[in-house]
């Protein structure tokens, strides 16, 4: 994998983590920042025609809005979002400077939490984002 937004090792680690946790249910993995994005993985049977620019922009704004809206919640700090669609699910894990979108065919909620935990750690440890 020849990633330009993040180190190749981290890109590979993110995809491997998502693939290991989801198996054949994994649809795509996209790394994004406030100003750019890179699709790290797309399952072979899916079309490459998604409008990722609009999609990622919406998810970045959604992260900011959600973080601000719930910052004083008794539930604790915001961690991640899972969205359900007709043809799959989206997991958004976002830090202050970067995030990862993972789409799947469907998983148990606990699986999404495990993936989010791992991705949060990777984003926090990324030396290019310090």
pLDDT digits (tens, 9 = 90+) for 27-48: 999 998 888 889 999 999 888 7
For residue range 50-102, list pLDDT tens digits in order.
Answer: 777 777 777 777 777 777 777 788 888 888 889 888 989 999 998 878 889 99
Mean pLDDT to the nearest integer, 100-113: 86
What distance in Å separates the CA atoms of residue 84 and residue 86, rounded to the nearest whole number?
A: 7
| Architecture of domain 8-129 in this structure | 2-Layer Sandwich (3.30)
pLDDT band at 127 (very low <50, low <70, confident <90, very high): low
The pair of three-digit structure tokens given for residue 47, joined into one six-digit string: 């079309």
Torsion angle of C-alpha atoms 20, 123, 31, 62, degrees rounded to 10: 110
Q: What is the pTM of this model?
A: 0.84
The residues near 66 (Cβ < 8 Å, ≥ 6 apart) are: 78, 81
pLDDT of residue 128: 58
Each domain of the chain, given as residue ranges in start order, spans: 8-129
When pLDDT is cut at 50, 70 and 90, the band that residue 1 belongs to is very low
Q: Measured between alpha carbons, how far is residue 105 from residues 20, 67, 92 in Å? A: 14, 26, 15
């Amino acid at each position: 994998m020849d990633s330009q937004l993040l180190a190749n090792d981290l890109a590979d680690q993110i995809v491997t983590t998502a693939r290991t946790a989801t198996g054949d249910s994994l649809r795509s993995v996209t790394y994004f920042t406030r100003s750019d994005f890179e699709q790290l993985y797309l399952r072979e049977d899916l079309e490459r025609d998604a409008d990722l620019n609009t999609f990622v922009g919406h998810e970045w704004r959604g992260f900011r809005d959600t973080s601000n809206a719930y910052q004083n919640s008794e539930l604790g700090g915001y961690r991640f979002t899972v969205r359900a669609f007709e043809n799959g699910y989206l997991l958004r894990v976002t830090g202050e400077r970067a995030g990862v979108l993972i789409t799947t065919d469907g998983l148990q909620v606990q699986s999404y939490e495990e993936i989010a935990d791992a991705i949060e750690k990777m984003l926090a440890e990324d030396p290019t984002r310090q």
